[in-house]
């Protein structure tokens, strides 16, 4: 019992260290949280109040003007639809391909494994370039097709390395036991490897989803119709156009670009931020284990 009591009771030094730790962590948490809070507050602040006081946590009036401007824009809704489609199918398909690629590459007895990995790694440093990629997509008949935004980014080598390393780190004895019990490779993959790979799948799923959610440049190249643009391109267009305009259009500003920017940040980030809490518990585990090379 005395031992237990001493384990529970903190010494004064421990209290000081603990308090100091809380203080540092708390300050940094606030430093991270306050800008996000300000973004949200700004997005609801009337322009005239913002002009009077740039750092007002409690504006006397609130407005939806900036949101109204964002949501009145017709292409916002088609943009949301396109981005959801790209993010959903892109992430699912990307995980499937990552597993189907990472699992065989994790096997040391796979013939030509090093050659395959070298080829993959080359793609980390070199790309075909904008014009060749455009010709490829055009030849495939994918211009103005949402799959032109999904397929080019389907498998990233970085994610593949994480996946391969994670699977390599799983206990080999489990697979051996399953094989002895008569399971084939597919069964081992589905019944043994996949359930154990939830952390890395969640991590890479989040990576990929965020990547697809934020992507816009390919759409500039491959989407000639505005109705096919993803959300980020639509918002980027909205912000840029508001900030840089022709001479006489300076007076046509409806809302200040800054407040519009804040509203756009909220509109663009809230949906993807909602996913994070559900995957958070897997996130660090997956990243840490996948990053270890045996």
Residue 55 contacts other proteins per CB under 8 A:
no
User: Nearest to residue 234, comparing CAs of 249, 216, 255?
Assistant: 216
Minimum distance of other proteins from residue 40's CB (angstroms): 20
Stretch that binds other proteins, among 13-21, 178-186, 245-253, 275-283 (CB under 8 A): 245-253
Residue 242 contacts other proteins per CB under 8 A:
yes
d(CA 54, CA 259): 11
d(CA 115, CA 227): 42
Return the structure tokens found at 157: 């080598």
Q: How many other CB atoms are found less than 10 A from the CB of residue 26?
A: 10
**Of residues 117-146, which lie at the interface with other proteins (CB under 8 A)?**
130-131, 134-135, 138
Residue 64 contacts other proteins per CB under 8 A:
no
DSSP category for residue 226: G
Among 10, 22, 74, 191, the residue binding other proteins under the rule CB under 8 A is 74
d(CA 259, CA 67): 9
Residue 238 contacts other proteins per CB under 8 A:
yes
Stretch that binds other proteins, among 189-197, 244-252, 274-282, 285-293 (CB under 8 A): 244-252
Residue 257 contacts other proteins per CB under 8 A:
yes
Residues 140/145/147/148 CA torsion (nearest 10 deg): 60
Quick one: 27 or 227, whose CB is closer to other proteins? 227
CB of 204 closer than 8 Å to CB of 163: yes
d(CA 115, CA 210): 30
Residue 31 contacts other proteins per CB under 8 A:
no
Quick one: 11 or 60, whose CB is closer to other proteins? 60
Residue numbers of the site for other proteins (CB under 8 A)? 46-48, 51-52, 73-75, 130-131, 134-135, 138, 217, 220-221, 224-227, 229, 233-234, 236-238, 240-253, 256-258
């Amino acid at each position: 019992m005395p031992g237990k009591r001493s384990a529970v009771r903190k010494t004064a030094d421990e209290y000081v260290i603990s308090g100091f730790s809380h203080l540092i962590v708390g300050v940094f948490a606030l430093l991270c949280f306050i800008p996000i809070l300000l973004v949200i507050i700004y997005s609801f602040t009337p322009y005239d109040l913002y002009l009077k006081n740039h750092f007002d946590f409690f504006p006397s009036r609130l407005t939806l003007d900036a949101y109204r401007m964002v949501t009145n824009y017709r292409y916002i809704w088609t943009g949301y639809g396109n981005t959801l489609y790209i993010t959903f199918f892109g992430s699912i398909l990307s995980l499937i391909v990552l597993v189907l690629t990472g699992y065989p590459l994790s096997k040391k007895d796979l013939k030509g494994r090093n050659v395959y990995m070298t080829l993959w790694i080359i793609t980390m440093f070199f790309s075909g370039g904008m014009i060749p990629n455009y010709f490829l997509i055009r030849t495939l008949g994918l211009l103005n097709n949402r799959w032109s935004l999904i397929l080019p980014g389907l498998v990233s080598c970085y994610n593949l390395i994480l996946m391969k390393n994670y699977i390599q780190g799983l206990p080999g004895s489990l697979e051996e036991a399953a094989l002895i019990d008569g399971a084939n490779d597919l069964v081992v993959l589905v019944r043994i490897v996949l359930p154990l790979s939830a952390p890395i799948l969640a991590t890479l799923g989040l990576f990929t989803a965020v990547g697809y959610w934020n992507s816009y440049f390919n759409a500039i190249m491959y989407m000639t119709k505005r109705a096919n643009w993803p959300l980020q391109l639509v918002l980027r267009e909205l912000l840029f156009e508001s900030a840089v305009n022709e001479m006489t259009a300076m007076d046509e500003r409806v809302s200040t670009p800054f407040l519009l920017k804040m509203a756009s940040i909220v509109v663009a980030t809230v949906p993807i931020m909602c996913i994070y809490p559900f995957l958070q518990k897997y996130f660090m585990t997956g990243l840490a284990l996948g990053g270890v090379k045996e």
